[in-house]
Amino acid sequence: MIVKTPSRYAAAALAAVSLLIGWETACHRRPAATHSPAPAATAARPPASSGEAVAVSLPDKLRALADAANRVPEAQHDAAWATLIQSFPPTDIPQLLKALAPATDDASVLLRQLLLRRWAAADPAAAAAWAAGFADPAVQLESLQQVALVWSQSNLSLAIQWAQQLPDGSRQTVCLALAYEAARTDPQTALTLAMDLPANAARADLVAHATAQWATGDPAAAAAWAVQITDPALREQVVSAIATEWGGNDPAAAANLALNSLSAGKAQNNAVVGIVQRWAQNDPAAAAQWATAFPSGDLQSAALENVIKPWALRDSQTAGAWLNTLAAGPVKDAAVADYATALAPTAPALATEWAASIAQDALRERELADVITNWLARDTTTARNWIAQSALSPAEKNQFLGSTGQ
């Protein structure tokens, strides 16, 4: 896992840099027994205050860099830190890492990670060998991941070959990290790597992520691969991810994939609704027409609702014209109810007219009651006057105005 350099650690890390460089320089210039401090104590020393003097043995160039980095605004700490890390020759890094090995404070952990990444960029095989020999299992795994991610940027193939030779305990974690890195530019390689890992939730998430990345460039190929997955749960997760991604470019194809390749249920409903919502933003008529074409039920109702309501709010006239093209029946009644519900807060009179046009008695009564009751609560006088002059039946007028009809 890559650890972002937190600004709040910058001062502490810079202090650790200064101390370690001073220690390393002293080791080169003077007898170790006289001037070399204990590594653990050096790494764990509290952060230096802004006024603390830098060790005399610190080379002038690096002392100047450290002082400058401490003086820059907080927003520039990361850049200053990167500059300072680049000042270390790769050949000196093993000795510094050895000194940092026992330390667990935030500054030392951060410094160890960044030094190891710098070494891995220059000599990944050597850095990998050092990381693999770390005694602490948790730090060893973290170090192996740091090396793997850096190595993958220069030679992904070699990084994968190396990772696959690691012991099982670390191999799975490192290969997972490499696969996520590969998914950005080579999702098919990421999937090949992923399918060799043990079947678990982490692998399922990786496969879904990599196929979604693949779908950004070639959704049809990604879908063709995904529908061949033999594990039903994994197949559902992956197909859903592809359909959602595909929906941004070809919502009709994506919606058909979700409808035809996902089992009826929550995953299918979520995928279809998500696609239809994006589709409706650009072509609501096409999205609505598609939703009316598949079997009636909860999925169709949810899809239509997610097209009609936002469409009514954006362009009620065009949406109303489209509703008038539908043949009378349950689908039209449901769409009209969604339309009336969307218009009720801002255009209650128009919403009431549409609600009154619903053919199904139970649905019409329910929708009229919702629209008119809310209208009466917000603007009683206007609502009562409109109802009195409307084409509602006498029974409906009595329901909302009272038995006198006034």
In a domain, 324, yes or no: yes
**Residue 354 has what pLDDT?**
96
Q: Are residues 342 and 364 in the same domain?
A: yes
Per the listing, tokens 């700490």 go with 77
Based on the fold, state whether residues 15 and 99 are members of the same structural domain.
yes
Q: Is residue 205 part of a domain?
A: no
Q: Are 338 and 288 in contact (CB under 8 A)?
A: no
Whether residue 229 is contained in a domain is answered as no
- What is this structure's pTM? 0.58
Where in the sequence is the domain holding 160, given as residue range(s)?
A: 123-198
Which of 116, 144, 168 is where one domain is finished?
A: 116
Are residues 19 and 57 part of one domain?
yes
Same domain, 171 and 92: no
83 and 142 co-located in one domain: no
Number of domains in the chain: 3
In a domain, 224, yes or no: no
- If we measure between CA atoms, which residue out of 206, 213, 145, 137 comes closest to residue 173? 145
Helices (H), strands (E): how many in the chain?
25, 0
| Cα–Cα nearest to 374, from 337, 334, 344, 406 | 344
**359 and 337 within one domain:** yes
Any domain includes 40: yes
Residue 186: predicted pLDDT: 93
Q: Are residues 90 and 56 in the same domain?
A: yes
* Among 185, 6, 187, 32, residue whose Cα is nearest residue 106: 6
Q: Is residue 137 part of a domain?
A: yes
- Domain membership of residue 157 (yes or no) is yes
Q: Which helix H or strand E contains 401, and what residues bound it?
A: helix 394-401
10-residue block means of pLDDT along the chain (406 residues)?
43 47 46 35 35 36 53 69 74 78 71 86 92 86 92 93 91 93 93 91 92 92 93 90 87 89 86 89 91 83 93 95 94 96 95 95 94 94 92 89 56
Q: Cα Rg for the chain, rounded, in angstroms?
A: 33
| One domain for residues 65 and 89 | yes
Q: Is 302 inside any structural domain? A: no
**Domain end call among 72, 99, 116:** 116
pLDDT at res. 358: 96
Residues 112 and 127 in one domain: no
Q: Are residues 89 and 159 in the same domain?
A: no
Domain co-membership, 169 together with 131: yes
Q: Do residues 8 and 56 both lie within one domain? A: yes
Query: What does the alpha-carbon distance between residue 41 and residue 43 come to, in Å, rounded to a whole number?
Result: 6
